[in-house]
Structure 1
């Protein structure tokens, strides 16, 4: 019975995937117009502009919106592989193909003994919940590398290390996948891959690490957790402003630097908690690698001073890997993340004007989405700690001394 149910579940996966992904393609290709701001402008204007600069043999040194590690150039240049299509169309097609590759990896993992197809369903359902934005950014490509790394982790630690390092050079956050790596070979492989790819990038084109200096003057992005302070403060006379800055809509003005510093402090505290967990964790099971990666990236995303909508696809990908393992403790946090994905598409792009205006609807959506992320983070961290860190056993009570002079009971 269980096998039959699994087969039926897997049989429906490609049908639902095709229907939802066709809908996403129709929106990004503008056959149908999705309400709100045009989410494809990043590809048609920014990415395509970078494409021209990168093809000339240098990184975008004069563009402060280039805030990505050097391997990101590969994602930006990849539409050149489909030269018979215009840049934007080629990019959307490649993201869709990458999406399909992730599904194939999750289906393959879910069919193995002792695994579950739930992970594949999380991916199929979670991605379209984010709306067309998810196909108009290169984050699906990064997530594909992260999913492959985690699925390889148990049996092929060297492959996992190499993929995690390559992912980190695409967009930094996949470095956290190594948090629960059990074997030193994963770290050695990651170090070698990182040095080789970073070195090759630096030698190939100037400006490979200019991105490190392009985020120093950023404000607090309007969708982040810290931004809630200013959304509320605007109703009490706060004199700052909202404007496009460093590629995103940010709050600028009094106390923004302090709130941004607070966000960095929270991220540092989360990192400290993760280090402490790694030192104390003892009960590491097959699913712990994925659970720990999910918790780490969830902490990083929630405490960041920028929570762009496409960041949510990172969480969807890692959540999908977690639920490939029936023993995962992340079911409730995964459910909360999926609900947060739906709220995310409401706040961007559908009602983004309300978010920027800090009106009642915008505040409600942001408090709900960020509240869901905070709840998911706390529940996930608690579940990971309780599952892996042994509790101290109470000291055994001393044996009760025999009372002298007692007369034994005769039988």
Structure 2
């Protein structure tokens, strides 16, 4: 190992041992989805039973089942340990790509920030399927300018596990000159997934993850649920309940159905606005690598902030765009990096240890999640403002941004700098 990287790998090991310990010992059962939901799904598939997404409708895209199977090698009782090992190995691969040969200060800063975020977010950081897609997205974004088709395939596979990496694909198609290769990589990957799924009997369930979302109500962690949490906390006509069909907690109260119905169109409008701002920035001949990190972060944050669905693990979606942004321009991404750490800490305050307090709409828990959700909206506003500024003709990149962007564009995956 390169001696200059030794401290960073020591940090990685210590942080992941800490995450292991928290996930396995914390109250609130942060690995509940892994052992109660993922384990039966994977055992059922491997034992010749019904395959979710193939023989029956499923809330996840079809490839989400793939990472649920390898931890079975550890046995039924140690499935959770196997899951954590798998996630740690994937993180290590992405971490190695990020650090490269250790000469880039921006990459090392990004690596330290990533480890800090794992600490502040807590055990949920590896407790859901989202954790598998994060290192994939990091690697894809780091190589996308040099290997656009490979990056597109990685992001497409990740999207067929959890939909959020589609934001990175869309952003790349919008601003990169290699958009055709990115589009082709995504189309080819999707065709392979669909043909394979249909061949083993996936029709009509292969796209059931889309239809399964249409009837969902407003989840308690979604920013739009905050008014109902306050009403319930103050003894008003609102309540929190568990939906056994989709296995999640939602809010019930006056106007919930209408609000739930309009949230998807509102999200589409916000995404369209972000796309227009990115197009405007391109017209000023702003470098694509200046626009791309902000655009990916904007789209990902919109998927969190303007959504009727909300879960603590959604915070891990911020990791890949912020790591990428810190590599390209640590100066520009200082504010979102710090704000994301605060959002992660606020999330850990109510999940998993005292999640019951939130379910009872206790005042302190409602205040905590309100602050977290306001912070998410602030992050979205920052992204929109930055895209607007990037579209202003007078904006010129700093020396640091120019150097980092040039280095990122010129560095192949096999020779990181």
For residue 74 of structure 1, report the CA deviation from its aligned partner: 0.7
For residues 317-371 of structure 1, what are the alpha-carbon distances to aligned partners after superposition, in whole Å with 9 as ceiling and x for unaligned?
Answer: 3211210123663321221111100110001112212211222201210111111
- In the alignment, the residues of structure 1 paired with residue 101 and residue 280 of structure 2 have an alpha-carbon distance, to the nearest angstrom, of 29
Aligned with 1:16: secondary structure? helix
- In the alignment, the residues of structure 2 paired with residue 150 and residue 345 of structure 1 have an alpha-carbon distance, to the nearest angstrom, of 27
Distance 1:137 1:216, change over 3 A: same
Residue in structure 2 matching 1:226, options 212, 219, 224: 224
Contact 2:110 2:326 in 1 (8 A): yes
Alignment of 1:218-297 (within 5 A): 218-234=216-232, 235=234, 237-245=236-244, 246-282=246-282, 283-297=286-300
For residues 225-245 of structure 1, what are the alpha-carbon distances to aligned partners after superposition, in whole Å with 9 as ceiling and x for unaligned?
Answer: 011110122225214442244
Aligned to 2:335: 332
For residues 201-220 of structure 1, what are the alpha-carbon distances to aligned partners after superposition, in whole Å with 9 as ceiling and x for unaligned?
Answer: 22234332222222232221
Structure 2 residue 117 is the aligned partner of structure 1 residue 121: no
Contact 1:110 1:120 in 2 (8 A): no
Structure 2 residue 52 is the aligned partner of structure 1 residue 75: no
Give aligned pairs, total. 381
Distance 1:351 1:240, change over 3 A: closer
For residue 287 of structure 1, report the CA deviation from its aligned partner: 4.1
Gaps of at least 5 residues in structure 2 are 396-417
Structure 1 consecutive aligned stretches of length 4 or more whose deviation exceeds 4 Å = 61-65, 81-85
- In the alignment, the residues of structure 2 paired with residue 146 and residue 319 of structure 1 have an alpha-carbon distance, to the nearest angstrom, of 11
Distance 1:305 1:111, change over 3 A: farther
Structure 2 residue 146 is the aligned partner of structure 1 residue 155: yes
- In the alignment, the residues of structure 1 paired with residue 19 and residue 154 of structure 2 have an alpha-carbon distance, to the nearest angstrom, of 28
Aligned to 1:60: 52
For residues 146-203 of structure 1, what are the alpha-carbon distances to aligned partners after superposition, in whole Å with 9 as ceiling and x for unaligned?
Answer: 1111111111111122122111111111111121341221111111111112221222
Deviates more, 1:187-196 or 1:209-218: 209-218
- In the alignment, the residues of structure 2 paired with residue 64 and residue 315 of structure 1 have an alpha-carbon distance, to the nearest angstrom, of 31
Residue in structure 2 matching 1:86, options 69, 78, 85: 78
- In the alignment, the residues of structure 1 paired with residue 141 and residue 53 of structure 2 have an alpha-carbon distance, to the nearest angstrom, of 33
Aligned with 2:250: secondary structure? strand
Contact 1:329 1:384 in 2 (8 A): no
Q: TM-score, normalised by structure 1?
A: 0.85
Aligned to 1:187: 183
Q: TM-score, normalised by structure 2?
A: 0.84
For residues 11-46 of structure 1, what are the alpha-carbon distances to aligned partners after superposition, in whole Å with 9 as ceiling and x for unaligned?
Answer: 4322222222112212333xxx323x2112211111
For residue 277 of structure 1, report the CA deviation from its aligned partner: 2.0
For residues 296-318 of structure 1, what are the alpha-carbon distances to aligned partners after superposition, in whole Å with 9 as ceiling and x for unaligned?
Answer: 10111111212211111110232
Distance 1:365 1:305, change over 3 A: same
For residue 49 of structure 1, report the CA deviation from its aligned partner: 1.0
Distance 1:288 1:57, change over 3 A: farther
Contact 1:180 1:288 in 2 (8 A): no
Structure 2 residue 25 is the aligned partner of structure 1 residue 26: no
RMSD of aligned C-alpha atoms?
2.6
- In the alignment, the residues of structure 2 paired with residue 239 and residue 331 of structure 1 have an alpha-carbon distance, to the nearest angstrom, of 39
Distance 1:294 1:38, change over 3 A: same
Gaps of at least 5 residues in structure 1 are 1-6, 393-411
Contact 2:57 2:208 in 1 (8 A): no
Contact 2:222 2:304 in 1 (8 A): no
Aligned to 1:355: 358
Deviates more, 1:56-65 or 1:256-265: 56-65
Aligned to 2:404: none
Distance 1:210 1:224, change over 3 A: same
Structure 2 residue 103 is the aligned partner of structure 1 residue 111: yes
